[in-house]
Amino acid sequence: MNLRRDVFQAIADPTRRAILMLVASQSMTAGAIAANFDTARPTVSKHLSILTECELLEPEQSGREVIYHLNPKKMKEIADFIEPFRQLWEDRFNKLEAIMKNYKPKK
């Protein structure tokens, strides 16, 4: 259960946001990403695994290195995070409309 990550939790952290910005500019190895930060390598690795768990990053094994790519689909989901809320109401209202179109008043 603790492994379940919330995307919003993931992007709430400034280091993780910085990592996403970096990888957005170009796909990078874990080592190259870590070189951009003063934090210890295991800390960066931890951030990378959280971002991967949330599917914001996609790791690709390349020889002995892992290259991280940005998952634009997931990023778009965050940009559209209020869309599911709108969709929820759209579905409800569509249902309301369908029901009332067939409504026959009780006599």
- Contacts (CB under 8 A) with other proteins, residues 24-83: 77, 81-83
Asked whether position 17 contacts other proteins by CB under 8 A, the answer is no
Residue with token string 């796909």: 27
Min dist. Cβ of residue 86 to other proteins (A): 4
CB of 63 to other proteins, least distance (A): 29
Sign for the CA dihedral angle at 11, 14, 15, 21 comes to positive
CB of 15 to other proteins, least distance (A): 22
Report the phi/psi class of residue 55: left, alpha or beta, with left for phi > 0 and alpha for psi in -120 to 50: left
Pairwise CA distance, residues 49 & 40, whole Å: 15
**Which residues bind to other proteins, rule: CB under 8 A?**
4, 6-8, 77, 81-90, 92-97, 99-101, 103
